[in-house]
Amino acid sequence: MKKKIVVIGLCFAMAFAVVGCGKKDKVSTTTSSKIEKNADGEFMASKTVSKVKKCDYKGVDVGESTTEVAQTDIDSAIDSILSSHATDTQKKEGTVADGDKVNIDYTGTIDGVEFDGGSAKGYDLTIGSGSFIPGFESGLVGAKIGDTVTLDLTFPEDYTNTTTINGEERSPAGQAVQFKVTVNYVTVTDTPALTDDFVAENSKEYGDTKNVDDFNKYVKDQLILSNKLQAMWPGVISNSKVDLDSAEVQEKYTDLYKYYENIVTKNYGTDLETYVKQYGQTMDEFEKTLNDEAEYQVKCKAIANMIARKEGITLSKDEYDYEVDKAMKSYGYSDVASYEKDYPKQDTIDSLIYYKVLKFVGDKAKVVKDSETTTVAQENASSESETTTENAEETTTAAK
Start-to-end CA span in the chain (Å): 33
Whole-angstrom Cα distance, residue 6 to residue 194?
16
Decide if pLDDT at 354 tops 60: yes
Q: Of 197-201, 251-255, 269-273, which gets the smallest average pLDDT?
A: 269-273
Q: Are 100 and 87 in contact (CB under 8 A)?
A: no
Q: What is the pTM of this model?
A: 0.73
Share of residues in the chain with pLDDT > 70 (%): 85
Between strands 51-54 and 168-170, the pairing is unpaired
SS3 of residue 18 by DSSP: helix
Question: How high is the mean pLDDT of the chain?
Answer: 86
Strand-pairing partners, residue 185, are 103
Instruction: Name the residue ranges covered by the structural domains of the chain.
Output: 10-85+195-395, 89-190
The pLDDT value given to residue 101? 97
**Rounded alpha-carbon distances, angstroms, from residue 190 to 83, 87, 89, 193, 386:** 9, 5, 8, 9, 51
Residue among 186, 80, 97 nearest 140 (CA): 97
The pLDDT value given to residue 23? 53
Model confidence at 378, in pLDDT bands (50, 70, 90)? very low
Whole-angstrom Cα distance, residue 293 to residue 297?
6
The runs of H, that is alpha helices, within 269-388 are: 272-278, 283-311, 317-331, 336-342, 345-363
How confident is the model over 250-263, as pLDDT tens digits? 999 999 999 999 99
Architecture field, domain 89-190: Roll (3.10)
